[in-house]
Amino acid sequence: MPIGWCLLSNRKSWLITLAGAAPTSADSPDGTASTDGSDRSALQAGLDLALAAGAFGQRVTLVFAGDGVGLVTRTADAEDPLYRLLGSAPFYDIDSVYVLNKASPKTAFRDDLRVTAMSHREWLAAASEADIVVNY
């Protein structure tokens, strides 16, 4: 039986957190993190997995933290391939994404995605409810 059919009949909830490398001194003053020079490969790998899981009918909760936050802020480079790739998330049934509450309240998020703040307590609750928890 093709992989797709097996997966569609076995729908699980995933919590995928994209943090990349630890924040560095290159972070912007408003508390959001720069995606320049960080572990972009981890962010790319995690985002690819999230989209693949979404494509196979899995329920994906996507959370951004640390260096990953740069991908959901309005100040990020809109021409960045990773930024643009994230913009396709709704086509994979990932309709809202979350940001761990470290960003400043003044942080402006990109408007092509529904971005919601998530506290650490909420993240822990989401992790305990999810079937599959993966961090990148």
Partner 1 sequence: MEISLIIRTPGTDPNQCKRAQDFIQSAVDQGHQIRQCFFQGAGVSAALNDRTLPRWRQLAALTGAELLLCSQAVEASALSVPEPFVIAGLGALVEAAVNADRLVSFV
Structure tokens at 92: 């994979």
User: Site for partner 1 (CB under 8 A): how many residues?
Assistant: 19
Query: 24, 96, 104, 135: which one contacts partner 1 (CB under 8 A)?
Result: 135
Minimum CB separation from partner 1 for residue 41, in Å? 5
Spatial contact of 94 and 115, defined as CB atoms under 8 Å apart: no
Instruction: Spell out a b/e string for 14-31, using b for 16 or more CB atoms within 10 Å of the CB, else e.
Output: bbbbbbbbebeeebeeee
- 96-100: strand order across its sheet: 114-118, 96-100, 59-64, 13-18, 132-135
Nearer to partner 1, 17 or 73 (CB): 17
Query: 21, 56, 101, 127: which one contacts partner 1 (CB under 8 A)?
Result: 56
- Interface with partner 1 by CB under 8 A: which residues? 3-4, 6-7, 10, 12, 14, 41-42, 45, 48-49, 52-53, 56, 58, 132, 134-135
